[in-house]
Structure 1
């Protein structure tokens, strides 16, 4: 439910945005910010909250975030002004950012060693992102259809207050070592890096969200200023992290080829998945003129298949080469985007949209599971929340960039439909978005051959006498070989600079 927060909210807002807009008299820009505000704030603060959770404790932050998310969902349901609702959505994104890193950190510490059970636990966690969006559309659609759009926020409040109570009694205590809150500890906290990454991601994401709705579009001075300054801050942040002794984002982790490649593949997938899912829902509302409940029902296959795929992923991550799983996921993505792209208004839902919605979830869930397991296994138990922050930050940034490009593409084609006569006028802007998503998947397909990830969570071999003579105890060896990664002979988990002798790897 932690990783589902933003996507749950986004799915609910997606199927009710047109109704909210009419009810509050919102402009197109204000409607856009309903979904953009939460994504922007959550993406900007994930690294910060990851570091805070690792230093000062995880359970209290996790439970508190669930509770405050519920409270502000309740408040959003009473909003009377467009700006109020947009700001509250931004605050909700902030609490989702403070919930995900401690949730990942708790899982990473509890399931420290590779195992089938760890695969199952992280498959459940990974399911939250795609399934959160789907169930958000379903619950939001049903609530809005029965009681109005405000009920969709109140239903979210009820769901998360229930999970808050459950979490208080069921989430295990955080036994990892905590830092005292004093001046010495604060000096090790990367305050300069935090300011730069929060400001950089915030400005860059805001520019992408505002580009098509500003008065002069992308040529609007403040949009260009936000874009340039935000990009420069991100670049300066990267250089700063190489020099600071206690970096917010350990840069040496990117030297692992599989780490960089699997995240790149995942990000390209998210750049395709989020815009495609958003505009599929919009297509059902604007072209097919479905009610929120009808939209939810037509998206139901995504939820059902998503649950099944995550169950399968939990059972095969330790049995099948994860590179093969990434191939399957990326190929499913590509076929799905192609089916969506050739759809026309006269085409039956069952002919193209139904198989596309099934395959798009296969792609999202397989890629997410493989990448999530690899990233979490690449960092030490004391840095599990930071690992979760890194993972979620790069994917959220990819989602924002993808949605910004897709929106610009949609608006351009809608204003000047220039696609082939094969498409009717009303389908053209949507098809253009799907072609962009298909292009992103083609790029990711070119990266998959560079992966060498084998089985993850497979049972480790007992150390031989040669391994024991290297000076490492069996427990130390098991921690360093926390996954079976095919042909790669040595991995460098954090802390940075810790090299594993080749002969110590089982």
Structure 2
């Protein structure tokens, strides 16, 4: 059993399932967390953003550490960090505690996710067996995202919001124990100095955190306040220092030469915008369905189920169409579908029927977001050298996570400001909440519309079906 590649796949897939599940499972619990812990509306988004930003910021360092220190070792360390921080988040007594532990969760997720994918690649040789393994991996990841909202609803309604975190503890213990019996240790053969580039990871993540905090603080303080200007300027300086460090590092987290490739640079932007629209839509809609329309957490999860199914269909269809029409055409159509879906969702109010106001928008958005991601992945990898393929994949995944966190900060901050202004002007709280939800989705639609322009500027690539299928299975979209 120890040497069976399929038992290795089971362990790795369960771990990845747990990480992906955690992205969506939390959304339906947000209203209960807000009530129990006393979250301010401006701060609630940090429950999502702290996880995704730290995850994206340390994903590349996790992969590099796995290659140098040992992939199984980093995988187990990530599982331990993830399980312990899940336990801590489940017993948190204040908003600050929960946000901090969510950030640590993101660090553990980055460590285990990056090493898990590498372990899968070295376990299965290139060819049919790897394609099957990647299919299982991608399918379970997609299922984890889709089931997250439903599982979260069951836990919140029948136990407590705390169980959306505590459920990770027993799963983590089982996977850790199985890892030592099933997965063999491996590490990359690297010539020259073994360096981690911790400075690069810290500079990039703290710079992005500073910019996010500056955006969020702009709502109560104003864009001209000293604090906001200081945070934004400080974030830019930290990111500039990151670029300088990467340009001089012997083993950079992000080889800057990758961004000389137009297709990869534009794909990073496209995936970041895609993620921003998804996270903002999920965040705003989950709160809207419970606080405005009065749905239970479980019913909210069920409301999202058609979107998850549509997303899986979108990835499969897009992987077929890029072989027929090329990446640019599929990206343009997918971006248009995403915009239409968000515009339809923005018409929902407190009493409009689900079947006519929410369901069409959720289905179209689900189709569009994954159909956009697959050709972006294909186009990004098309001009990248073989020895840079791993780094390029890591950059795309990190861009997806970080773009989502930054986009969520911008969209929710603007939506919250819209609600505050409406209530100051005498609008009733319920009507103001509806207006904030609709306004936030319109901003998300603008993000999606920018992706139409990005797609038109991107080079068109046509690939064989095997390459397209692999891109669909590795797409960093958790729905």
Aligned to 2:90: 77
Give the deviation of 1:439 after TM superposition: 1.2
Change (3 A) 1:25 1:217: same
The offset of 1:223, in angstroms, is 3.9
SS in 2 for 1:88: helix
Q: What TM-score does the superposition give when structure 1 sets the normalisation length?
A: 0.78
Contact 2:322 2:463 in 1 (8 A): yes
Gaps of 5+ in 1: 460-481, 485-506
User: 1:379·1:387 contact (CA, 8 Å) conserved in 2?
Assistant: yes
Is 2:55–2:106's contact at 8 Å kept on the other side of the alignment? yes
The counterpart of 1:233, out of the listed 219, 229, 238, is 238
Closer, same or farther in 2 for the Cα pair 1:175/1:150, shift >3 Å? closer
The yes-or-no answer on 1:40 pairing with 2:53 is: yes
Distance 2:43 2:57 in 1: 20
8 Å contact kept, 2:55–2:109: yes
Q: Which residue, out of 434, 440, 444, partners 2:447?
A: 440
Distance in 2, Cα, partners of 1:225 & 1:5 = 38
Query: What are the superposed Cα offsets for residues 198-238 of structure 1, whole Å, 9 maximum, x if unpaired?
Result: 332232233334444x6x35555444322211112212322
Contact 2:320–2:465, Cα closer than 8 Å, also in 1: no
Is 138-147 or 225-234 further displaced after alignment? Answer: 225-234
Q: Which of 454, 461, 464 is the matching residue for 2:461?
A: 454
Partners of 2:281 and 2:297 lie apart in 1 by 18
Q: Is the 8 A contact 1:143 1:149 kept in 2?
A: yes
**What SS does the aligned partner of 1:299 have?**
helix
* Equivalent-residue separation in structure 2 for 1:128 and 1:276 (angstroms): 23
CA deviation vs aligned residue, 1:102-145 (integer Å, no higher than 9, x gap): 234345556775x6776665566556776544422211111110
How far apart are residue 173 of structure 1 and its match?
Answer: 5.2
Aligned pair 1:276/2:289, yes or no?
no
Deviation at 1:36, TM superposition (A): 2.5
Residue 21 of structure 1 contacts residue 27 of structure 1 at CA under 8 Å; is this kept in 2? yes
Corresponding position of 1:325? 330
> Once structures 1 and 2 are overlaid, which stretch shifts more, 13-22 or 301-310?
301-310
1:193 is aligned to 200
CA RMSD in angstroms comes to: 3.5
| Correspondence 1:409 to 2:414 | yes
Question: What's the CA shift for 1:336?
Answer: 0.6
Write the distance in 1 (CA, Å) between the matches of 2:55 and 2:281.
21
TM-score normalised per structure 2: 0.81
Deviation at 1:243, TM superposition (A): 4.1
**Residue range with higher mean Cα deviation, 316-325 or 282-291:** 316-325
Q: What does residue range 390-405 of structure 1 map to in structure 2 within 5 Å? A: 390-405=395-410
Aligned with 2:349: secondary structure?
A: coil
Compared CA separation, residues 121 and 253, structure 1 to 2 (3 A): farther
Kindly tell me: are residues 351 and 163 of structure 1, through their superposed partners in 2, closer, same or farther at Cα, counting changes over 3 Å?
A: farther
Residue 142 (str. 1) matches residue 142 (str. 2):
no
Aligned pairs for 1:56-95 (under 5 A) are: 56-95=69-108
Equivalent-residue separation in structure 2 for 1:321 and 1:169 (angstroms): 44
CA distance in 1, matches of 2:199, 2:84: 31
C-alpha distance in 2, partners of 1:234/1:276? Answer: 28
Kept in 2, the 8 Å contact 1:6–1:38? The answer is: no
CA distance in 2, matches of 1:375, 1:118: 21
Superposed, 1:87-486 pairs within 5 Å as 87-109=100-122, 122=134, 125=137, 132-165=144-177, 174=186, 176-178=188-190, 185-186=193-194, 188-212=195-219, 216=221, 218=223, 221-312=226-317, 321-375=326-380, 386-417=391-422, 425-458=432-465
- Partner Cα separation in structure 1 for residue 323 and residue 119 of structure 2: 21
SS of aligned partner of 2:295 = coil
Structure-1 separation of matches of 2:443 and 2:316: 30
Distance 1:425 1:205, change over 3 A: closer
Shift of 1:249: 1.2
Match of 2:6 in 1: none
**CA distance in structure 2 between the aligned counterparts of 1:112 and 1:234, rounded to whole angstroms:** 38
Q: Measure how far apart 1:436 and its partner are.
A: 0.9
Aligned residue pairs, count: 452
- C-alpha displacement at 1:94, in angstroms? 1.0
Q: CA 1:100 to 1:348, structure 2 compared with 1: closer, same or farther past 3 Å?
A: same
The one-character-per-residue Cα deviations of 1:284-309 (angstroms, maximum 9, x if unpaired) are: 01110111111111111123233344
CA contact (8 A) 1:193 1:237 kept: yes
Residue in structure 1 matched with residue 476 of structure 2 by the alignment? none
With over 3 angstroms needed to count, the CA separation of the structure-2 counterparts of 1:341 and 1:232, relative to structure 1, is same
Segments of structure 2 that go 5 or more residues without pairing to the other structure are: 1-12, 470-479
